[in-house]
Amino acid sequence: MREVDRPLRSPGMRDLLPDAMIRFRRLKQVFRDACHAWGYNEIRTPTIEYLHLFTESGALPAQMLNRVYSFLDWDGWSGERVVLRPDATIPTVRLYLEQMSEQSLAKLFYVQNVFRYMESDQPREMWQCGVELIGDSQPVGDIELVLLMRQVLESLSLGPVQIQLSHPGVIRAILSRAGLSPQEQEQVYEKILVGDLSDITSLEDRAPELSISLRLLFGLDGSGQHYLTNLQSVIAPVANEASGPLTELMAIAKVLDEMGCSYRVGAGAVGPFEYYTGPAFQFEIGGIKVGGGGRYDHLIEMVGGKRMPATGCALNAEAILPLMRDEVLQDAAITIVTTGSADEITTALRTAQALREAGMIVSVASTSSANGRWELRPLSSETGGAFLLRDTYEMSEHDCRTLGAVISLIKGQELD
C-alpha cells in the first residue's frame, strides 16, 4: 500500500473494497428483490438538486441544512444554489410531482447516496436503500413498509430485528400542552429529534400534570396494544391532541400483533426530519440503528403539489454492511501465466476463454502472484506437454495433455 504523509482521499469519503462491494451488491439485490415482490418500482434521482427544495420550513431541520453541500453551478449566475442531494425522500417527492403526478398511487424505491458534511473523517456520503409510498393512506401504507423492511433485514440474516414505533404528533401535543410557544416547541422538538432529552425535566417542572405522561413516553419503551392503551389513558386526559396520533399507532399495532411482528413503542424513534406528520418507525439490530422512516403527509404540498398522504422508509447501508457476513471473494480460480510472444498470449487468451465457457473463473497474467488456487502454464510442443497445472494450496504440479484433463483435475480436486 502507498505510504503517504497526507491522504489522497478526501475526508469523510469512503472507498469500498471488493469484499465490501460484494456485501453491498447482496444488500442491494435482496432489497430490490423484496421491493419488486411488494410491487415497488425502482427510480434514481439526480445527485444535484436545487437547494430551495430542502430549505422550506418543515423540510430538512436547521441542523441538517447547515451541513448540506451547496454551491453555485456553472450556470448559477442568477444566484440559484444547488446542492448535493442531502436526503433522498424530498427528491423523490420532486420527481413524483414533475413526472408521475397523474398517478394517484406511486410505489417507488431507490438505492442511492446522500451527502452531508460531518466532522473529521466521519462518513459524508451515505448510501440509502429507500422506499416511498405516495398516495396510500395510513395505516395500510405504514404497515406495509414496516413488514417490507423487516423482510429485507431478516433475509440478510443479520440477527434479530427490533422495530420501534412512535408518533411525532404525540410529542407535539405534549409540548403544546406544556405551554411552549410555537418557537419553543420547535427548539425542544429539534433537540428531541437528535436524541437530546435534556429539556424533559424542565418540562416536568413547568407542567407537573404532564409528569406521568413524560415519564411513560420518554422513560420507558413498552410494546403492544396494552402499552398504547396505557399511554392513551394517561396522556389523552391532559393532552387531548395526542389522542388521534395514539389511535393511529394502535391501528398499526393491532395489525402487527396479528401478523406476529414484534415491536416496541417509544418517543425517540422519529428520524431527524421535520416533515414526519404521522407514525414513524425505526429498525435496530443489536442496538445499532439500521434504518427508519415515517409518514409525511404535508411534504408533497410543501414542495408544490396538492396535499396527499405519503410514507417512506430507508435502510442505511453504512450501518448494515459491517453486520453482514463476509462472503468468499470470487478471485479467479485459475491464473494463466504467460510472458511470451503475441502467439503465446493468444494461446493463453484462447485457453482462458475455453475454461470460462466451462464455467470457471480465469484470469490471464504475466506473473504468478494472483490469489486463486490454480496456476496454469501452456507449454510449447518441444517440452512435450500441453499444460502445466500448479495447485498452490497443495503445492503440487500436474502435466495435462488436454484442456479437458485440466478441467477434470480442477473439478475433481474442488469436489474433494
Partner 1 sequence: MIKFALPTGALRRPTAAFLENTGVQIPGYAAGSRSYRLQADGHEALQIRVFREQDIPIQIALGNYDLGICHLAWVEELAQRYPSDSVVKICKLSFGQSCLFAAVAAKSTTKEWSADRRLRVLSEYPNLAEAFAMAARLGYHRILPIWGAAEVYPPEDADIVVVAATDEEEVRSKGLEPIFPLLKASAYLIANRNSLGTKNLGGILAALTTSDTWGRERLRLPRAGEVTLPDPGPTIEKRRPSVRLALPDGHQQPHAIAVLKAAGLSFEGYMEAPSSARPASDDPEVEVKVIRPQDMPQQVALGNFDLAVTGRDWLLDHLRRFPSSPIEEVADLGYGRYTIAAVVSNESPAQTPEEALTLWRQQGKRIIRIASEYANLADDYARGKHFGHYQVIPITGASEGFVPEDADILIEGTETGKTIAENDLRIIDVLFSSTTCLVAQKGRLQTDPEGPLARIASQLATGALMTSGASS
Quick check: 80 binds partner 1 (CB under 8 A)?
yes
Q: Measured from the CB atom, is 4 or 342 closer to partner 1?
A: 4
Stretch that binds partner 1, among 58-66, 82-90, 228-236, 281-289 (CB under 8 A): 58-66
The residue within the footprint of partner 1, chosen from 28, 32, 81, 254 (CB under 8 A), is: 81
Which residues are bridge partners to 48 per DSSP? Answer: 84
Shortest distance (Å) from residue 302 CB to partner 1: 9
Quick check: 339 binds partner 1 (CB under 8 A)?
no
Q: Measured from the CB atom, is 30 or 302 closer to partner 1?
A: 302
Stretch that binds partner 1, among 39-47, 75-83, 93-101, 233-241 (CB under 8 A): 75-83
The grid coordinates listed for 372 are 486463486
Count of residues in the chain = 416
- Three-state secondary-structure class, residue 174: helix
Quick check: 78 binds partner 1 (CB under 8 A)?
yes
Quick check: 120 binds partner 1 (CB under 8 A)?
no
> Which residues 6+ apart lie within 8 Å of 274 measured at CB?
57, 58, 59, 60, 61, 190, 193
The grid coordinates listed for 189 are 422538538
Q: Could you say which residues in the range 159-188 bind partner 1, by CB under 8 A? A: 182-183, 186-187
Q: Measured from the CB atom, is 72 or 329 closer to partner 1?
A: 72
The residue within the footprint of partner 1, chosen from 65, 321, 333, 403 (CB under 8 A), is: 65
Q: Measured from the CB atom, is 12 or 222 closer to partner 1?
A: 12
Shortest distance (Å) from residue 112 CB to partner 1: 24
The residue within the footprint of partner 1, chosen from 44, 52, 206, 215 (CB under 8 A), is: 52
Quick check: 196 binds partner 1 (CB under 8 A)?
no
The grid coordinates listed for 228 are 398504547
Per the CB < 8 A criterion, the answer to whether 88 and 317 are in contact is no
- CB 212: neighbour CB atoms within 10 A? 14
Beta strands of 226-353 (E only): which ranges?
Answer: 264-265, 280-285, 288-295, 310-316, 334-337
Shortest distance (Å) from residue 81 CB to partner 1: 7
The residue within the footprint of partner 1, chosen from 13, 37, 62, 194 (CB under 8 A), is: 62
Side by side, which strands form the sheet with 125-134?
41-42, 106-115, 125-134, 310-316, 288-295, 280-285, 161-166, 264-265
Residue with cell 453486520: 323
Nearest to 414 by CA among 397, 398, 394, 400: 394
- Three-state secondary-structure class, residue 41: strand
Shortest distance (Å) from residue 282 CB to partner 1: 25
Residue with cell 469500498: 16
Question: For binding to partner 1 (CB under 8 A), which residues are involved?
Answer: 6, 52, 55-57, 62, 65-66, 70, 72, 74-81, 182-183, 186-187
